[in-house]
Copies of this chain bind each other. A is one copy, B any other.
Amino acid sequence: MGRVVVEVMPKPEILDPQGKAVVGALPRLGFTQFSGVRQGKRFELEVDGEVTPEILAAAQEAAATLLSNPVIEDVVSVAEATDPAEVSGEASGAPVGA
């Protein structure tokens, strides 16, 4: 069973209130390292078989038509999920790298 990961971000010229909220909250929690934050979306599309080039092409089309709003968002990545830890998201139940 394969998975395709689609990543969508607001266009740089578009206001991103969610990102603004995060960038305002970070210093209050002691994180002063970050000067800007943008928040986008990440989709995992599951396929029953292998991730073929045809599947990736379909995912790309779905990303451009359904998963993103091309007026305000960019599809920044459409790729097969490669890392098993990333696919399951919780090999150990703990955040990756924690």
Contacts and interface: CB of A to CB of B under 8 A. Distances in A.
A97 to B, nearest CB: 6
A48 B35 contact: yes
- Chain A contact residues: over half helix, strand or loop, or mixed? mixed
Interface in A43-98: 43-48, 54-56, 58-68, 70, 74-78, 83, 85-86, 88-90, 95-98
Give the number of copies in the complex: 2
Contacts of A40: 41-44
A42 B41 contact: yes
A14 to B, nearest CB: 10
A12 B89 contact: yes
Contacts of A68: 95
